[in-house]
Amino acid sequence: TKVLLQEQGWQRLEELRDQQRSQALVDLHRSFHTCISRQRVLPRMQARMRGFQASLSSHIPPTAVG
């Protein structure tokens, strides 16, 4: 059913929805982090990322000094 709300009601509804969405993302992140930490995947992922970042920085040409 369609509920007619005043502007203030709509704003409050949007705020509550944003809060729920933010909390859901935090919960998802925490659960994912716990899961990969338990499987000891996190250290390997972090090591790969560090290696990737290092390879990127070694390919950056030196800046021209003029």
Measured CA distances, 65 to 10, 50, 62 (Å): 57, 29, 9
CA pair distance 64, 51, nearest whole angstrom: 26
In a domain, 65, yes or no: no
Residue 61 falls inside a structural domain:
no
Note the pLDDT tens digit of each residue in 10-24.
888 899 999 999 999
Residue 2 lies in a domain: no
Number of domains present in the structure of the chain: 1
Contact predicate 13/5, CB 8 Å:
yes
pLDDT-derived band of residue 55, with 50, 70 and 90 as boundaries?
A: confident
Distance, CA of 14 to chain centre: 21
Q: Which residues constitute the domain of residue 37?
A: 7-54
User: What is the rounded distance in angstroms from the CA atom of residue 43 to the CA atom of residue 51?
Assistant: 12
> Is 20 within the bounds of a domain?
yes
Residue 31 falls inside a structural domain = yes
Q: Confidence band (pLDDT; 50, 70, 90) for 46?
A: confident
Kindly indicate the confidence band of residue 38, based on its pLDDT and cuts at 50, 70 and 90.
Answer: confident
pLDDT score, position 14: 92
Residue 63 falls inside a structural domain: no
